[in-house]
Structure 1
Amino acid sequence: MKFITLLALMLFLTLVVSHIFNRLNLPAVIGQLILGVILGKGVLDIVKSTHEVELFAEIGVILLMFLAGLESDLKLLRKHLRPSINVAIMGVILPVLLTLVTALIFNINLKESIFISVVFAATSVSISVEVLKSLNYLSSNSGAVILGAAVADDILAISILSVMSGTLTGNFSAQKLLLLLGMWIGFGVIIYVAHRWIIPQIMKLSEYVDATHAPTIMALVVCMIFAYLADAVQLDAVLGAFVAGIAISNAPKYNEKINHNIETIGYSVFIPVFFISIGINLEFNSFFHDFWLILILTVTGIIGKLFGAGFGAKISGFDLKDSYIIGSGMISRGEMALIIAQIGFSVKLLSDEYYSAVIISIILITILAPFFLKHSISKKPLNSN
């Protein structure tokens, strides 16, 4: 019952902070992220990272990215495939270089510096998706590039992590890398086959099932299966959920009611818990001791993605305003960077001495990212896109 009580508290406070931030004309997600910091270890220590909280948070981010897929235009994503790749590549190179230089300046050993730079290469688009959705910008050209680049960035970050962690721990082998690539190719084949033939038939059949909200339930089943498959091939589960959303949105029997029902399920319970969960582990014990390292990692983390991804958009033909939007949309690190940091910490690539500083920087960047995206979009309204 303790978790039920905490869940009620989190959902009620989410309503309160969302109302306040919406009235202030700021993305509600910022309030929810800050709420997580207040409820977590750093301030009140009311909500802890229990199995239940982590489970609800994981379902929340899966549903959020599934909704992003449902609301995405596949033709627009295909149209902007090359710009998305340019944005992803440039949005990885510059943050890696800036973070590596920063870590070396602070006399962190080379091996740990390299790993920290990999942590800050990752992008977590889930926060940006929420801001884009709230501003009705998800289906714009810039929104499509951000989503496409996030998928490419996800694959790039995991590839770099696999090679780097294997090399730095002495466990790297070409065979492991080929196996990983083989699994990704197999996943791609499954996606293509399911998208072309299996999912359309499943969604048609669901219309004839005599059960309440059968098409919505079937859509959720597909979402969870794709999330599981993506995780099984060492990709992020949210990538699978996003792809599932795109596949279902292009199925003949897809309708807006499915989107509405899943949005209701997600935003009523799971998605708020995900946003709160990001900040609950933030501690300020080492904040003043590592103040300058945290500050510079945060600043370079923002600059690296903003200018790196923005430059990738500019060389792909976007104007400065759109490049600013795309760069801002790639700033957030969120759960992807936190997961990579946890992996490094578990295999001793990230030491106790710098672990807290890295985590604090990731969370600060994640909280600040929506401000940049909101500001960039305010400079170019949707009707001028």
Structure 2
Amino acid sequence: MSLVPRQVAELPWRLLWVVIALGAAGVVALYSAAGGSMTPWAINHVARLVLFFGLAIGLSYIRPQTFQDFVWLGYGGGILLLILTLALGVIGGGARSWLELGFLRIQPSELMKPILVLVLARFYSMVPPREIRRWSAIWPTGVFLALPILLILLQPDLGTAALIVLTTIAMMFLAGLPLSLFIGGALAVAAAIPIAFSFLLPHQQQRVLIFLNPEQDPLGAGYHIQQSQIAIGSGGLFGKGFLNGSQSHLQYLPAQHTDFIFAAIAEEWGLAGGVVLIFLFYLLLRWGMGVASEARGRFERLAAAGLTMTIFFYIAINLMMVMGLAPVVGIPLPLVSYGGSAMLTVMICLGILMAIDRQTRRDPRRGTPPF
């Protein structure tokens, strides 16, 4: 007789150890960013990690069918929160993106990411395979996407809107829509870029221009990218050592506890530390795609793949941003950066993925997702 309860033994412990390792890396980086102090960031990061980790474990015991049944209610609730944010929200970082709920401050636009993935997974699971290439399988996605994107752009939060659009495109591709649709869409977007640029706010236009030429204003709008690249490059192979990062501790590196935390880690731990961190993310994403490939139902497969892609876009956009390969759009590094809403979103994604994984493991017709 096993001394470990079945419910505990069924948890994907290799994944959970990866999540804990990423969270611990965040604690170490935030401790260093505060000059060798657990306050104000590291201690709060630990508290959120424990709380949301427990939430993810709790979600893993919910049947995927339950998520499927309540997905429309969740979509309506997410839209309501976005409307309340526009009316009653708190301005932070130049956008009215935050909603104060007394004991909790959340960013509803973050919660729309997993909600929209589940909505699209539910919709495409109901579309017959023979109908997937028809217009009737395309226009509803535009409707589901349009309302939250409009509300998010009104905040305005271009980075979150872009991530949601990317995830939606990925979901459409995974659902089997024709490749010609994506090629035509890419060409249309490329043609519309000059027009879209004219509608951006001045600070958003400046971010794009600085991305194209960071040396244009090294002490102004290009300061973030320049200092991030200096921090990453100065770390060398093995870094300057823990608590010895000059860019971070001399306050040259901005937002080192949030968006640019990877640059601070690379400066202190070097290329080796950055590679280890990226490898941990690789293990997490590989597990997620393994869950998607082994899932037994179409809703489960699409939901698992979409949730994994949501986490992937967090990682990819943040790393490209701090390396100067993408404009600065305010996307945090999952589980590592300081921030409650982003961590909550990622943990919700992981919780639902674990729920799908649990169902797959109990189905003898399927194997175990690879790590």
What TM-score results when the alignment is normalised by the length of structure 1? 0.32
More helix by share: 1
What TM-score results when the alignment is normalised by the length of structure 2? 0.33
